Structure 1
Amino acid sequence: MSKLVTIYGGSGFVGRYIAQQLAERGWRIRVAVRRPNEALFVKPYGVVGQVEPILCNIRDDASVAAAMQGADAVVNCVGTFDAGGKNNFDAVQDKGAERVAEAAAAAGVKTLVHLSALGIDRDEESRYAASKRAGEEAILKHFPSAMILRPSVVFGPEDGFFNRFASMSRLGPVMPMFGAKTLFQPVYVEDVAAAAVKGVEGEASGIYELGGPEVKPLRGWINEILSVVKRRRLVLNQPFWIGKVMAWFLDVGSMATGGLVRNSILTRDQIKQLQVDNVVSEGAKGFADLGIEPIAPEVIIPSYLWRYRPNGQYDAIRDSAKNLRA
């Protein structure tokens, strides 16, 4: 019988790619999520019955333990950008991670892979980074042989980085932003998934920092996006103090609604994160130690950012038409 892996958050951006790659390698997969009916798209990743979404609440001990019953390996991809509510930073990224590791150790699971984030050891201000650090500590406390992955900003068709700025480019001639000089090292989602597979199959353990082959300041990446979407925009960097004021009003507005209206524009915690470079540390273990050669963003992003061009999918046709003789 093929081996069984439980992927917590397996229908999320990174989790779905891990599920795909493990399915191709013959693993049976449980995708543990809060809303299984919204994760049915994972079922075709394998043959009939190979990939199954199941109900799980990362905040509940019994639910977490039941989801990994009989599993040979566990992957924890659950994360959040919500500072408030029941599924906040601490509940999900600290206590949730500890719950998974504790249950995995008690169940005798052979391998555990945990998805963390790059730069959290240098970010001393944000609550997001603090919860990620606490989660890592909890993982290693209960499961010392675990593999912990710290990816930089992850890109791919469903990402919230390149897609977000490409979408902003359609709003007008000026693109205001914060942290133009902050360095980023975007990493392709398929490469992160390949690293996770190494951990699931027992080929690696320990902490790995994952960054792509290129490092640029945020302004440089936005210029790359503008080149791909064929738009000319003035990228206007704003002082962080302005961002703090804006984020304060947006956060307070969200709290005034009791959390019913989520602040998805700019939070105070995000401003803190933007002040810290998001690049691989010197001497850290990374892709080279895993035998993986990461793919550069310029190879991938044109395949999904084309829809933000002035003429979308017809942009290339219009360009070629200009070369036709009358």
Structure 2
Amino acid sequence: MDAIDRAPKLVTVFGGSGFLGRHVVHALAQGGYRVRVAVRRPDLAYFLQPLGRVGQIQVVQANLRYPRSIEAAAAGADAVVNLVGILAESGRQRFHAVQAEGPNLIAQATPADAMLVHVSALGASLHSASRYAHSKAEGEAAVHTHRPDAIILRPSVMFGKGDTFFNRFAALARALPVLPLAGADTKFQPAFVGDVAQVVARAVSGTVPAGRIYELGGPEVKTLRELVEYVLAVTERERVIAPLPFGLAKVQARVLSLINALTLGLMPAELKLTVDQVELLRTDNVVSEAAIAEGRSFEGLGIAADTFAAVAPSYLGRFRKTGQFDIARAA
């Protein structure tokens, strides 16, 4: 066996510098893989390199608008992971280009003998009125067209340090006395980002059955109101939750989007809301009964998923009035 045969396998991770990406890169590095992180802005991704040994993690430039850059990033890889996605459109970052055409190009560029893992989202549907959910489903269809053996993961809303879910509501509660809430009764099944990353790592290792769609939701199903109430309890803030009808919520979203455009995108991220995001809230974001019965879930993969109560307080404490270093609390 020569040196090339003994070299650790190479995994290309598209979108590896994002919230989920940094956990995936860490999990793969811990598994001994060489990791090639393909991102639009390599200068903003070098923070990933300390997650592995010297030389184990390489950052390269790739842009979904340029197929040749995708081909170069995927060349020679033993596995390819696609994590690229956006929650809202801005500039040239459009849902169809990023979440439909992007996966199509990545699937075509993935070497024939390489494993392909594509991360989509729970709620992806060609019948959805949400352009986000519709484009996610288009991306899945494109991946399956070119690679029927690909593994597709649909996580629910993900939580963890640096998330845009619990942190968003905690920040709003710190700033506002009243929290307007669209979709207060919509159900969610939050998944710990570290658990999702472990599924990606297992998929790359070949221990996850290929050619299937997996739905990843945490142990608890809660309404959006219940999740916001949890955030208020952890951050020790009393706020009024004001449920909004979807029609009024869309008016609010249009006003906020206009303000954001007039301020050239400088509005705080916590205040940004789009009509498409309101549309998403019409549908419950939970694992289907079919996925559970067929073993296409955390439980079916043998993973005991973490609850948000076990993780979220570790990073929400900073939103308390006394902060995370309360001397009386520590005593």
Bigger shift: residues 148-157 or 194-203 = 194-203
Q: Does 1:40 align with 2:46?
A: yes
Helix, strand or coil for the counterpart of 1:283? helix
The 3-state SS of whatever aligns with 1:67 is helix
* 2:214 aligns with one of 208, 211, 214: 208
Give the unaligned 5+ runs of structure 2.
Answer: 1-6
Specify the alignment match of 1:238 in structure 2: 244
Q: CA 1:272–1:12 in 2, change beyond 3 Å: closer, same or farther?
A: same
2: distance between equivalents of 1:10 and 1:275?
A: 30
1:243-282 mapped onto 2 (5 Å cutoff): 243-253=249-259, 260-261=264-265, 264=269, 265-282=272-289
Residues of 1 paired with 2:260 and 2:178: CA distance? 26
SS in 2 for 1:291: coil
Distance 1:175 1:97, change over 3 A: same
- 2: distance between equivalents of 1:26 and 1:153? 28
**Whole-Å separation in 2 of the counterparts to 1:172 and 1:261:** 21
1:172 paired residue number: 176
C-alpha distance in 2 between matches for 1:193 and 1:153: 14
Provide the C-alpha distance between the structure 1 equivalents of 2:19 and 2:330, rounded to a whole number of angstroms: 35
Given that residues 71 and 109 in structure 1 are in contact (C-alpha distance below 8 angstroms), is that contact kept between their aligned partners in structure 2? no
Deviation for aligned residue 1:122:
8.2
1:255, distance to aligned residue in structure 2 (A) = 5.6
Q: 3-state SS of the aligned residue for 1:288?
A: coil
Q: Write the letter of the residue equivalent to 1:289.
A: G
Q: TM-score, normalised by structure 1?
A: 0.93
Distance 2:260 2:240 in 1: 30
- SS of equivalent residue, structure 1 residue 293: coil
Alignment check: 8 A CA contact 1:6 1:31 kept: yes
In 2, Cα distance between the equivalents of 1:208 and 1:270? 23
Could you tell me which of 125, 128, 132 is aligned with 1:128?
Answer: 132
Post-superposition shift, 1:320?
Answer: 6.0
Which letter does structure 2 place at the counterpart of 1:273?
A: L
Preserved CA contact (<8 Å) 2:125 2:136: no
Please give the per-residue CA displacement for 1:232-274, whole angstroms capped at 9, x wherever unaligned: 11111111111111222333455668xx427751101001001
Q: Is the Cα–Cα contact under 8 Å of residues 153 and 215 in structure 2 kept in the other structure? A: yes
Deviations 1:1-22 (A, max 9, x none): 0000000000111011111011
- Report if the CA contact (8 A) 1:213-1:294 is conserved: yes
Task: Indicate the residue corresponding to 2:149 in structure 1.
Answer: 145
1:210/1:280 contact within 8 Å kept: yes
Amino acid at match of 2:119: L
Note the C-alpha offset of 1:53: 1.1
Partner Cα distance (2:235, 2:38) in 1: 36
Q: Provide the C-alpha distance between the structure 2 equivalents of 1:271 and 1:113, rounded to a whole number of angstroms.
A: 29
SS in 1 for 2:324: helix
CA separation in 2, counterparts of 1:123 and 1:226? 35
How many percent identity over aligned positions?
A: 48
3-state SS of paired residue (1:95): helix
Structure 1 stretches lacking a partner, 5+ long:
322-326
TM-score, length of structure 2 as denominator length:
0.91
User: 1:292-311 maps to which residues of 2 (within 5 A)?
Assistant: 292-311=303-322
Query: For residue 102 of structure 2, what is the aligned residue in structure 1?
Result: 96
Structure 2: distance between partners of 1:262 and 1:138: 35
1:184 aligns with 2:188: yes
**Structure 2 CA distance for aligned equivalents of residues 134 and 111 of structure 1:** 20
Counterpart among 75, 82, 91 of residue 85 in structure 1: 91
| CA contact 1:122–1:276 (8 Å) conserved in 2 | no
Change in Cα spacing, 1:130 to 1:6, as seen in structure 2 (3 Å) is same
Which shows bigger deviation, 121-130 or 26-35?
121-130
SS at match of 2:290: coil
